[in-house]
Structure 1
Amino acid sequence: MSLETRRLLFIIAGAAFLILSPLILLYTSGYRMSRDFKITKTGGIYISAPKSGSEIFLDNKLKKKTNILQSGFFIQNLTPKTYSVLVGKEGYWPWQKNLEVKEQFVTEAAAFLVKRDPEGRIILKGAFIDMFASPYEKILMFTEKTSSQSSLKKISFYLPEKDEFLVKNSLETQKALSFYGSISEMSWARDEVIFKTEGGVVNAKFDLNNKNVDAFYLAPKDVSGLELDDPYAKVKKQIRIWRDLRNTIWADWLDNDNEPPYYLCGADKCVFPKQVFVSRFPVKNIDFFPYRRDVVIAAIRNGVFAIELDDRGGKLLQPIYKGKEPNFAVFQNEEKVYVLDEENLLEIGL
């Protein structure tokens, strides 16, 4: 090889180094070329999928299969744009969103999966009209008919784990737990519930060791200052959800000292109260999905559904139960839903 050839190769190599070095530096610093040939800073995506064995796809490419130790997927250095994210697991409805990745930000989302054919069993039968769940103990509160000829209703308390009702200790308790109309306001504590009917405000106190209940009407002086709420409104870790008379489900952030979670804020900004879902049919009841505060359960018309609060890239609604006119109750520390339909109480695994 001649000296001139070596010099030419050296010049070419030097020129290539000078041209490529900035590109390599930009690449290693997290910059990419966009579709319109502009240099942009990259972002990332983090997807959590609590169900072990879930498959996570990004733009139709399998990226991760979760297990007991790893329930999420994180990918960085993504060019800013909108990505299709799909999470699936055999036997469950798929979860899919179109999520935007922005420069120097990690877009976060939490998948939720609902069984296509959940297993359930009838655990109780009765003339039940409505039910409520204690947020503290595993107690279901039923309202039920006294007879087909009377509009008088009665209240009973049921322990689903024990398959037992709490015994009403006295005639006073039986009278206090009988009412006309509906329950308009309610407040739970660990060993009691206070609720308001047309007849007044009732305090029912539980003795779970002896499996009984005492109930009595509160005097007007004792009612003053009580903080009762809509019996169908729920609060969990600073998020309050409720439904209004126009069949709309709402969510609000109660913590003024801290930023709300991403799933309450949408794509651009946080506006409260947040409209979660508008139904054409009456919304009978709502509550949070067990172990979650970004997903609500709602009884609407002939079904019970899971609805996510996060409306980025489309809001998902997944069916849990289809029947006639179901209502439901959940305890937040177990993956079950109790469905009341056609005077049957069913226990269904989530």
Structure 2
Amino acid sequence: MAALENSAGNELVHPGEDRLAQAPVDHPPVPRQKVGVVLANLGTPDATDYWSMRRYLNEFLSDRRVVDYSRWLWQPLLQLVILTKRPFASGRAYRSIWNEALDESPLLTITREQTEKLAARLEAEHGGRVEVDFCMRYGNPSTESVLRRLQARGCERILFFPLYPQYASPTTATANDQAFRTLMRLKWQPALRTVPAYFAHPDYIAALAASVREAYDAATSTPEVLVASYHGVPKRYLEEGDPYHCQCLKTTRLLKEHMGLADEAVVTAFQSKFGPEEWVGPATVDQVAALARQGRKHIAVISPAFAADCVETLEEIQQEIRDAFLAAGGETFTYVPCLNARDDHVRALAAIAENELAGWL
């Protein structure tokens, strides 16, 4: 049978074999060349105890993309004040949503399921030429461990896919930063592409709309208002050129138009404020209370910025924000789950990945 060449022009002994034709017999095996796809999400603690939470929060809150205050001011406050108290509160929040069966956070469970489904779709299309894996920016599996593992499996080209529909410096940018830091430590760097924000991708918008319709159909009455709640950022990020706020507003508009909803039937709000700065608003917790005081008895809340349900949705929205609405006079609160591992969401992710893999497959 005729010999083949890999992309570097090296002739292989035989199709499917792992030893180069010109290499000596004792040459280490060369992995079959593949293309890697890495889904990257924010992160998760390994457990809910104090020290696990402290390690996770320390890594997260020490990231200059997340908190960009002067280290001389921030680190003493973080180490001596915040990390002595916050791990207890965060641990309680995580325990309220923890996947006890697998002893892990729901974010980890869902991201793994998304990865498995995406891998199955790409394998059906491209056979064994694609390796799909996932990593976390903070916690495990780490970005570096996953990129090194894919390279060891023969992935000379890797598509890095941050699971953030809307671009933001504290999410998309820091995920990409970590991938590039790994490349800085490798003797042999794979080629790396990053997936841009997909806040307006038609398949993503269609999946959001389908999830809302399903939640509305399952509700005992039709919600009067749909609140699109996004994770907040300091207002100065917007002023300094971060496009996140604008992209969130466009996602809401496209969702509203796709569903044919009236302007007053959809509002945009932002959650999870942290620190003393002014953040983009309105705050979700205040917005839902205001809607109740205006006489709205039934609202629904969706979180388009989250690709998977996590502590910000399962604990903050379904507990804190729900309670704020009911305490202000609201009666029925419908939570629209994140897209998670829905088939239409995985189809959207696959379509985005296929587009960015052009020329590699």
**Which structure shows the bigger proportion of residues in helix conformation?**
2
**Common fold, TM-score beyond 0.5?**
no
Report the TM-score, using the length of structure 1 for normalisation. Answer: 0.27
Report the TM-score, using the length of structure 2 for normalisation. Answer: 0.26
Structure with more relative contact order (C-alpha pairs < 8 Å, separation 6 or more):
2
**Which structure shows the bigger proportion of residues in strand conformation?**
1
